[in-house]
A and B are shown apart, each in its own frame.
Chain A
Amino acid sequence: MPPAFVFVVAGTYLLSGIAAPLIRRPRLSRVVGFGGCAVASFLGLTLTLVGSLQRGPLRLPLPAPVPWAASELYLDGLSAFFLVLVFLVGFFASVYAVGYMREFDKHRRGQAAPLLFSLLLLSMGLVVSAGDMLSFLLGWEGMSLSSYFLVVLEHEKAEARRAGLIYLIATHIGTGGILVAFLSLEQHTGSFSFNAFARVPIADPAILAATFGFALLGFGTKAGMFPFHIWLPYAHPEAPSPVSAIMSGVMIKMGVYGIVRFLFFLLPAPPPSFGGILILLGLLSGVFGVLYAIAQHDVKRLLAFHSVENIGIILVGIGAASLCLAAGQLGPARLLLAGGLFHSLNHALFKGLLFLGGGAVFQGTHTRNIEKMGGLMRRMPLTGLTFLFGSLAISAVPPLNGFASEFAIYRGLWDAAGKGGSFPGLLIAAMAGLALIGGLAFVCFVKVVGTVFLGNARSPSAAASRDPRMTMTFPMGGLAFLCLALGVFPSVALDPLLNLVPFAVPSPPVSVLPEGGKLAAVAAALAFIIGCLVLLRFALLRRNGKRDHGTWACGFAYSTPRMQYTATSFADPVLHVFRGVLRPRSVREERLSGRFLLEMRYETHIRDLFENGLYLPIYRLFLRLAFLARRLHTGHIHLYLGYILGTVVILLVLFH
């Protein structure tokens, strides 16, 4: 894309963002602000797609923010791919926000939302196109801060403030890790530019490992990787739904971008252990993410835990790619890396879709608790249909896109684990782990769709819900269409991704997903057979007749919708099996009068093990240290003067 266009896109974002708070009328402000973001995203998407067809990276010097280092934008294939992610989901989320953010019209701060939103999109664009450390960190901080303010947009709610605080701390620990990793590279090259970093020779394996460790801490925290994931299920649900869609769909992929950039472009030949660590962390993210999701009843928190799960799947792909690269298996490495990136795209699409659908459900029912929903398929048919597509995609049911990318990862793993492979045990364990994750995701989404959309309404507000406006249904429909299209024709996205892999693949290139076209054949067979059967059923029912009747309840009728199966009961068999790792805590209170039970209360909670087991002790330790340090602060001025005197004396002794 010609350099001038970069400024056009960035300018549109900035102008619409700045204009929104200046306009007095809330409705106009909303349309201008989010509409402008949509236009800018669409423009950016078109230009990136057209521009990425031409070969060679784009370099564009920026006005230097500091005198001692030059800044530049550097757009190669990897950047262009992640730009597509930002613009694509950004476009749909912006259109959706035009309708969704109406409920913020009564607040003045609703008009700040478009500015923060456009800054979020713009800074993510900067993150993936930055060509040096300084502009990268500028974008990174802009992204973290604008999303923080969006998380606490409803700051009168205590949960939002708490989530914001956890997020702010987590993201800055992450930024610290990234900074250390970059500075380590800078030490070896004396430059801030990524081009100078590229394949920098770090001889000492300990320093290499430390650099990778800090980068993993930084990018893994942003990505929501286990065990740095605990901020994610707090922060993502508190933001308004279009922002949750951006955060879960796109922002956490900035962490993936960072890991890929580091592992495959910047670090010199990483040893196989790096890939192995990534695979293990990916599997743990996947299994724990989906298990905690099954235990959740808040629809947005549940989706946030699924982001942890899907990041796990992506990391398995990327980690295995790195492992294969280190073992010299270039063909599988290429397929695995492309599969991991493809899953990033697919996750952005279906998770974006699900968060938008979750937002529509939230506005329709005024609750996020799925136990209070039910029967929405009949009242919100468009939301229900698109949510069903998203659920099928995230459960990796063919022929939707979630399966297509997992399939690519499976194929890569299987090719690499074949006879003569280097690490067959680990790779096959990864395949079995992916299978378990897929099966559990299936359980979770049957639970969600079944409890939210099917059966009877469990609360009056659920019974009164309706499909939202066009501005909200159109983005959901568009994303659902893309989920289906990429699932049936995966090569549209997979082929370009296979070509942007940064290492040469020996000719003849390995089988580039020969089943790529097969998915279309399976989809066609399914459509044909199911279509015939629907017609057959229709014809038979016309002949045999059908009648409507209340659901059978052993000769009675269901008197209240509370007699339906609940999400808690639905999740129980799986949670029971995994109770050893989940450690549910239950409270049971009984009030007796003599031998008679008057009242009984039973509660069961599943809390994140790492929150309580790992972070809470660290937090308590810091708190204790702070209390110790407080003893120094007595409030007596003469004592403080004494501290100064003591410090000066010590300094004099040390550096005389």
Chain B
Amino acid sequence: MDFLLHMTLYIALAPLLSGVLRKTKAFLACRQGAPVWQPYADLWKLFHRGIVRSTSASWLFDLSAPVVLGGTLVLAAATPLHSREVPLPMHFVLYIYLMALPRFFQTLAGLDTGSAFGGLGASREAAVSAMAEPALLLSMCGLAHLGAADPLNMFLSGLPAETALRHPETILIAGTLFLLLLAENSRIPVDDPATHLELTMIHEAMVLDHSGVDLGMIQLASSVRLAVFSALASGVLFPKALTLPVYLALPAALLRLSLFGVLIGAVEAGTARMKLSRVASFLMVATVLAAIALALQYAG
């Protein structure tokens, strides 16, 4: 029952997060923009379409969309959203490494159609995620240290109540996680999901050859992934929201995700995309922030 509620919440709220994000961007650019429920309509449409499959593709291409969505949903099952209890609690190292499974199949599917775009996107995606790995691990170490517990859901709820002021490292970790959110979810300034030139893309170039049901699954997976990162970063900022009774926790979850939608939208509207070779420095900043947060804890 709890499992169903948790998963339904993720699947139902994730497209909304993307919708709020896009609406914010449009609003800040003085455009009207699509309605916030547009992602739902897109998914509905895609799940009713057939697919066009490249003649170059192998069985791996057929398997990729289900593995990408399935792997992301398993990650979601370990990320607390409305309560500290999650259906599938796991150690933070396992959690970080599990992120590689959907990415492995996603990048391979990009290479499977023999398209130059797919390879281009896959290569960049792999490079960005590899360089993000140390920062991700260090920030999780910092969290586990604060929460004094290993499984992900436990250390989020184990965070001390008087967080921000007494523990500046919490802010640093949340900041790191936010930078990683931008990098790992192909947001500006690392990648621009809305550009019209495939040559400059990372994620969208990689999934260029997916269509119909497959594309729907991958878009849903991307939304869930964004929601997972948002839940994580907002959980660090507002740990007490996870201990609320369920009738308050559900609106709180909705509020936290929408807040992150607005936040990411504002960042995207206000920044330009970086040159690809600068991404390494961006991720280095995240690594250093996480290291400082960790060092503060050992010092304090």
Contacts and interface: CB of A to CB of B under 8 A. Distances in A.
Contact of B138 (A428, A530, A533): A428
Interface in B197-212: 208-209, 212
Contacts of A396: 97, 100
20 contacts: A381-B59, A407-B93, A432-B291, A433-B134, A438-B133, A442-B126, A446-B122, A447-B126, A450-B110, A541-B50, A545-B50, A546-B52, A546-B212, A548-B55, A550-B56, A552-B115, A565-B118, A570-B111, A571-B123, A573-B123
B123 A570 contact: yes
B101 A526 contact: yes
Nearest to A550: B55
A515 interface: yes
A577 B127 contact: yes
Nearest to A534: B66
A397 interface: yes
B108 interface: yes
A518 B97 CA distance: 14
Nearest to B136: A435
6 residue pairs, one from A and one from B, having the closest CB atoms: A565-B119, A439-B130, A450-B111, A439-B133, A530-B70, A533-B66
Nearest to B119: A565
Main secondary structure on B side of the interface with A: helix
Contacts of A449: 108, 111
Contacts of B131: 436, 439, 574, 577
B114 to A, nearest CB: 4
A519 B93 CA distance: 12
Interface in A442-482: 442-443, 446-447, 449-451, 453-456
B145 to A, nearest CB: 8
Contacts of B145: 418-419
A547 B47 CA distance: 16
A573 B276 contact: yes
Interface in A522-546: 522, 525-526, 529-530, 532-534, 536-537, 540-541, 544-546
A564 B213 contact: no
B94 interface: yes
A251 B108 CA distance: 32
A558 B56 CA distance: 11
Contacts of B169: none
Given A378-B58, A565-B123, A397 B50 contact: no
A446 B44 CA distance: 32
A117 to B, nearest CB: 34
Contacts of B120: 565, 569
Contact of B111 (A392, A455, A526): A455
B69 interface: yes
Given A392-B104, A397-B100, A529-B73, A443 B127 contact: yes
Interface string A402-437: 010011001100100011000011001001110110
Contacts, number: 245
Contacts of A433: 134
Interface string B40-74: 00000001111111111011101101110111011
A396 B123 CA distance: 19
B177 interface: no
Given A439-B129, A439-B130, A450-B122, A565 B66 contact: no
Interface in A178-213: none
A418 B114 CA distance: 47
A484 B284 CA distance: 34
A572 interface: yes
B223 interface: no
B88 A525 contact: yes
Given A438-B97, A447-B123, A533-B66, 10 more contacts: A397-B101, A411-B91, A414-B150, A435-B133, A515-B91, A522-B98, A537-B62, A544-B212, A550-B55, A563-B116
A455 B100 CA distance: 21
A553 interface: yes
Contacts of A418: 145
Contacts of B113: 455, 551
A519 B90 CA distance: 9
B88 A521 contact: yes
B137 interface: yes
Nearest to B54: A551
A455 B133 contact: no
B214 interface: yes
A398 interface: yes
A454 B108 contact: yes
Contact of B108 (A450, A521, A561, A572): A450
Interface in B158-206: none
Contacts of B118: 565
A396 B287 CA distance: 21
B256 to A, nearest CB: 25
A377 interface: yes
Contacts of A624: none
B114 A573 contact: no
A549 interface: yes
B280 interface: yes
Given A397-B101, A529-B73, A446 B111 contact: yes
Among A403, A428, A571: residue with most chain B CB under 10 A: A428
A526 B94 CA distance: 13
Contacts of B116: 553, 563-565
Nearest to A409: B93
A551 B137 contact: no
B285 interface: no
A571 B123 CA distance: 7
A411 B56 CA distance: 42
A491 B52 CA distance: 44
Contact of B115 (A451, A553, A570): A553
Interface string B71-108: 10110010000000000101101101110110110011
Contacts of B129: 439, 442
A546 B70 contact: no
B228 interface: no
B13 interface: no
B277 interface: yes
A576 interface: yes
A519 B94 contact: yes
Contacts of B50: 541, 544-547
B93 A450 contact: no
Contact of A435 (B54, B96, B291): B96
Contact of B94 (A392, A398, A577): A398
A388 interface: yes
A397 B56 contact: no
A375 interface: yes
Contacts of B91: 407, 411, 515, 518
